[in-house]
Structure 1
Amino acid sequence: MKVFKGILTMPLLLGLLYACNNEDANVDKDKEVTGNNSVVDETTNNNATNNTENEEDERTGIKVADVNYTFTDFDLDVEYADHKSYDVEYENDGNNIYAELDDDLNGVKYNGDKAYDNFADALKQLTFDKNTSDEDVRKEVLKAFALDENYQSFELEVKFQNGEEKHYHHNK
C-alpha cells in the first residue's frame, strides 16, 4: 500500500515542481535583483557596451587619407545664453575618423558621417597653426562655423599633426 501511495504521489510532486519551474521561466532576468553586486555588475557591463556603441556611432566612413587638416583632434565648445551651446568634436586617430555635433542653437545632434558632413566645410576653411594668435584662431573658427560672437565662453582644444596640443579659452 505504501508503494502504491508513493507511485501516485510521485507524478503529483513532479507536476508541482514543473509548474513552479515554469513560472520562474517567465521572470524577466534583467529585473530580478539578487543583490547589490549583481546590479552594479549589470550597470557596469551596460556602460561598457554603450561606450563601445557610442564610439562606433561616432566613427565615420571617411577615409583617413581623404582628409588633410593641420590638426588631428578638434574639440570646440561655444556656450551661449539660456544654456545653449555649440559643440563639435573631430578626431583622426590614424585609422578612423570620429565626428560628433551637438548644436543646441539649431536643435540638432549628430554622430559619425552625418555630423562630419555638417561641419566638414567649416574644417576645410581653417588655416591656423600652432603659431597663430589666440584671437585670430577664435575669429577664424567663429567665421568658419558661422557662429555668433555674442557667446559667453569659447573653448577650443586642438591637437596638431606634430602631436602638440593647444587650448584656446575666452570668456565674455
Structure 2
Amino acid sequence: MKLFKLLLTMPLLLGLLYACNNDDTKTNKDVTGNNSTVDETANNKNTTNNSENENERTGIKVADVNYAFTEFDLDVEYANRNSYDVEYENDGNNIYAELDDEIKGIEYKGDQAYENFVDALKQLTFDETTSDDDVRKEVLKAFALDENYKSFELEVKFKNGEIKHYHHNK
C-alpha cells in the first residue's frame, strides 16, 4: 500500500514542480509583435557599455565646442612607468571625456575630466597638414607635459573624417 501511494504521489509532485518552474535562465525571449528573438546577454553587455559611456559623457553642449577634430586620444608614457592619457570624443550628439594622469595620481571621467583639459584643447591649432613634429610639440606644450617621455602616441580624427596617428619613441 505504501508503494502504491508513493508511485501515485511522485508524478503529482513532479507535475507540480514543473508547473511552478519559473525559468529565469532562459536567454531568448520573443519580442512583442515580432517573430524575432532578443538575446538578453547581448543586451546586458550593451547596458554595461552604455553605463560606462554615461560616466564618460559630459554635460557640455556639442554646439559650444569648436575644435579642428572630433576625436583626440593621447597617450604619453614616461620611463618611470607613469603615463598621461586623455580621451576626447564629440560624436555629434554628446561629448565624452576621460583623463588618467598617473603623474599626478588622478583619474576623471565626464565633466570633471573635460574641465581638467579643456584649456589645453583650446590651445591646439594644428590640422591634418601640420607636421608630426609640430603637432607633438604643440600638444606637449598645451598639456604642460615633460618632453622627456618614453613614447608619445596620439590619434586624431579631424572634422573632415581623416584619421591621423602620431607616434614617437625616444
Mapped pair 1:165 → 2:163: yes
**Once the 2 structures are TM-superposed, how far is the Cα of residue 49 of structure 1 from its aligned partner?**
2.8
Q: How does 1:107-118 map to 2 (within 5 A)?
A: 107-118=105-116
Structure 2, gaps ≥5 residues long: 1-24, 28-38
Could you say which structure has the higher helix fraction?
1
Residue identity (%): 78
Match of 1:95 among 93, 96, 119: 93
Q: TM-score, normalised by structure 2?
A: 0.75
Show CA shifts across 1:50-106 (max 9, x none): 211110110000000101000000000001123211000000011110000011111
Letter paired with 1:149:
E
- CA distance in 1 between counterparts of 2:47 and 2:79 reads 35
**Once the 2 structures are TM-superposed, how far is the Cα of residue 43 of structure 1 from its aligned partner?**
8.0
Secondary structure at the aligned position of 1:99 is classed as strand
Q: Match for residue 136 of structure 2?
A: 138
Show CA shifts across 1:107-162 (max 9, x none): 11100000000000000000000111000000000000000011100000000011
Q: How does 1:41-52 map to 2 (within 5 A)?
A: 47-52=45-50
Match of 1:59 among 57, 60, 69: 57
**Once the 2 structures are TM-superposed, how far is the Cα of residue 48 of structure 1 from its aligned partner?**
3.5
Q: How does 1:15-30 map to 2 (within 5 A)?
A: none
Structure 1, gaps ≥5 residues long: 1-33
Moved over 6 A (4+): 41-45
Secondary structure at the aligned position of 1:129 is classed as coil
Q: Match for residue 34 of structure 2?
A: none
- CA distance in 1 between counterparts of 2:138 and 2:105 reads 24
Letter paired with 2:63:
A
**Once the 2 structures are TM-superposed, how far is the Cα of residue 44 of structure 1 from its aligned partner?**
6.6
Q: How many residues align?
A: 148
Letter paired with 1:113:
D
Secondary structure at the aligned position of 1:82 is classed as coil
Match of 1:75 among 73, 76, 83: 73
